[in-house]
Structure 1
């Protein structure tokens, strides 16, 4: 195995993290000088627990839609293939506490939602693969640990 891999998360020892947490995973300065920050929003403990796919899918839709009500600087909210969390990609440089506030406000929106946005076969590639209840349960559990989001390792 190489000393350093090209993908940042492959260099993270997943045995040492303590989910849930939010951590700055990467910062890129683009050729024109624009800055992109990518945050690891980890819901479950790697290799111990995971989110079911309908929950992941619904959280992806809900957070992608509702986060943009709080800022126009969301580039993407994408699920991790391991089903333990998401990457939140933001334009510009952010204060860490502002990112936590954005995540909290958005997850509170998830709790207030009465449907998963675009959960239909016109707007989604697998419109039947959703669970509002599952997404809300995951959001509730994540919010309950708000005081610990900045602690990445045990």
Structure 2
């Protein structure tokens, strides 16, 4: 079986919340794709409940695209501690952290239910499993802890 970088990471050494560049892959035509670890809560210490994580996921899908060019996908980790962010091209952890912080500030402080996309039967595979309240509480918690651009040393933005 192929080695997966994220499973090689020592989760006991990282200090969440942070943005970490996992890799930049180059395709056969020279196109580059960056993969980021958006770790929002400390691994093996905490995990976001699925309804709040699901709502953050739906909101980040649009909010990050509004703040950065090249977003391909933002998908939650199964462990519920954060997200993978896949982007065209090369980007810095600072650029991503600034966009993430701005997005979480909107979720935590301004968002209303009308701002959450994809919450209807036709637009979501599990539309009943959302919680704006939970998303807002977690967003505020993460903002208060400050997002770092380094997973091991606190370099807060």
Structure 2 CA distance for aligned equivalents of residues 141 and 41 of structure 1? 15
Secondary structure of the 2:94 match is helix
Normalised to the residue count of structure 1, the TM-score between the two structures is 0.90
Contact 2:55 2:130 in 1 (8 A): yes
Which residue is equivalent to 1:120?
Answer: 120
Normalised to the residue count of structure 2, the TM-score between the two structures is 0.88
The alpha-carbon deviation at position 151 of structure 1 amounts to: 3.7
Secondary structure of the 1:142 match is helix
The alpha-carbon deviation at position 108 of structure 1 amounts to: 2.2
| Structure 1 residue corresponding to 2:54, chosen from 54, 57, 70 | 57
Contact 2:16 2:39 in 1 (8 A): yes
Structure 2 CA distance for aligned equivalents of residues 34 and 28 of structure 1? 8
Structure 2 CA distance for aligned equivalents of residues 16 and 72 of structure 1? 31
Which residue is equivalent to 1:145?
Answer: 145
Query: Is the aligned partner of 1:9 residue 2:34?
Result: no
Secondary structure of the 2:10 match is coil
Structure 1 CA distance for aligned equivalents of residues 145 and 6 of structure 2? 22
Structure 2 CA distance for aligned equivalents of residues 51 and 151 of structure 1? 21
Contact 2:58 2:118 in 1 (8 A): yes
Q: Which moved more, 1:66-75 or 1:48-57?
A: 66-75
Structure 2 CA distance for aligned equivalents of residues 83 and 75 of structure 1? 20
Structure 2 CA distance for aligned equivalents of residues 102 and 73 of structure 1? 13
Computed over aligned residues only, the root mean square deviation of the Cα atoms, in angstroms, reads 1.6
The alpha-carbon deviation at position 11 of structure 1 amounts to: 0.7
- What is the CA deviation profile of residues 95-125 of structure 1, one whole-angstrom value per residue up to 9, with x for unaligned ones? 3221111111222222321122111111000
Number of residue pairs the alignment of both structures matches: 150
Structure 1 CA distance for aligned equivalents of residues 81 and 92 of structure 2? 24
| Structure 2 residue corresponding to 1:88, chosen from 81, 85, 90 | 85
Structure 1 CA distance for aligned equivalents of residues 105 and 70 of structure 2? 19
Q: 4+ runs of 1 displaced by more than 3 Å?
A: none
